[in-house]
Amino acid sequence: MIKIRRIHSPARINNKAFKATEFALWLFLCAHFVTNVYNPKYMAIQHSLCNALRITTFTKNEDSPLLTPIPMSQLVLSKDKPLFLLSADEIPFVFYEKKQHLFGAMVISKQDSFDEKLYHALEDFIRDKKLNVDEICCYLGPSLTFSHVGIDRNTLISLIQKGYRAAAKRTNGVDYVDLPVMNMVMLRKIGISFSNIYINRYDTFEAEALLYSERRGDKKKNPTLIEMIRNEN
């Protein structure tokens, strides 16, 4: 059975200064996890982004296309050529721009998140291409969620000071960071609306029957294929 990530309600968060913006973020997270299509016949987790991209994460023991994966930690762009990612506990990130029909992808590690690589890479791309952020949709794929990413107290405080309070967690005296939420906050800082950000609901560590996880000791990675949806008419 797949465990779905649990989101703490404001009543359970020990912080009297919980801001209205963070409450709005909590409401968004409760309502806006991606409803993935999981078809055992094809052994894949699929998502359609903006009805333009098909994002397919192949599950364990299922053959995937033999394509060259994009480099780690780099935002790679495409107009129509499929992109192929390999990730275990890292975040597979995908975006699509509606007007110019551009899309891109990036495999985001824990350190990449701390370095705000997604924020800098995507903001630079949007600025260079003079894109309208309202035309951009984003997807954050299967990865580790907060209960599996422990951090020290100084790191937690530093993240809060940088504006990532929504991603900072503390449970039973242990500090954690929610990396998908942290990267979602980066997208919001760029100006991308909540309604155009989609977070996959699978945790790679907890979804042992479907996905590989380095934290569990797996050596293999999860392949993700991103391709344009062709109009057959």
How far is Cα 195 from Cα 218, in angstroms, rounded to an integer?
A: 34
CA distances from 37 to 7, 96, 125 (A): 21, 19, 30
pLDDT computed for residue 5 by the predictor: 33
Residue 181, domain member (yes or no): yes
Quickly state the pLDDT bin for 147 (edges 50, 70, 90): confident
Residue 100: which domain range?
35-226
Residue 174, domain member (yes or no): yes
Residue 52, domain member (yes or no): yes
User: In the chain, how many domains are there?
Assistant: 1
Residue 166, domain member (yes or no): yes
Residue 56, domain member (yes or no): yes
3-state secondary structure the chain: CCCCCCCCCHHHCCCCCCCHHHHHHHHHHHHCECCCEEECCCCEEEEEECCCEEEEEECCCCCCCCCCCCCCCCCEEECCCCEEEEECCCEEEEEEECCCCEEEEEEECHHHHHCCHHHHHHHHHHHHHCCCHHHEEEEECCECCHHHCECCHHHHHHHHHCCCHHHEEEECCEEEECHHHHHHHHHHHHCCCHHHEEECCCECCCCCCCCCCHHHCCCCCEEEEEEECCCCC
Mean pLDDT over 188-198 rounds to 96
- In angstroms and rounded to an integer, the radius of gyration of the C-alpha atoms of the chain is 17
Quickly state the pLDDT bin for 184 (edges 50, 70, 90): very high
Quickly state the pLDDT bin for 124 (edges 50, 70, 90): very high
* pLDDT for residue 22 is more than 60: no
How far is Cα 113 from Cα 101, in angstroms, rounded to an integer?
A: 26
CB contact at 8 A, 182 and 110 = no
pLDDT computed for residue 41 by the predictor: 46
pLDDT computed for residue 20 by the predictor: 46
- Per residue in 50-105, pLDDT (tens digit) is 999 999 999 997 888 889 999 999 999 999 899 999 999 999 999 999 999 999 99
Mean pLDDT over 101-117 rounds to 97
Q: Where does residue 137 rank: exposed (0-12), middle (13-18), buried (19+ CB within 10 A)?
A: buried
* pLDDT for residue 216 is more than 50: yes
Q: Sign (positive/negative) of CA torsion 112, 118, 124, 129?
A: positive
Tokens of 115: 């370095």
The contacts found for 155-159 with CB under 8 angstroms, 24 or more apart, are: 155/114, 159/114
> Which of 9-13, 40-44, 46-50, 202-206 is predicted with the least confidence, judged by mean pLDDT?
9-13
* pLDDT for residue 173 is more than 70: yes
Using alpha carbons only, what angle is made at residue 99 by residues 29 and 103, rounded to the nearest 5 degrees? 60
For all residues of the chain together, what is the average pLDDT? Answer: 84
CATH number at residue 95: 3.60.140.10
pLDDT computed for residue 19 by the predictor: 47
pLDDT computed for residue 64 by the predictor: 82
Residue 233, domain member (yes or no): no
pLDDT > 70: percent of the chain: 80
pLDDT computed for residue 208 by the predictor: 94
pLDDT computed for residue 16 by the predictor: 41
CB contact at 8 A, 74 and 54 = no
* pLDDT for residue 9 is more than 50: no
- Identify residue 196 by its one-letter amino acid code: N
Residue 13, domain member (yes or no): no
Residue 14, domain member (yes or no): no
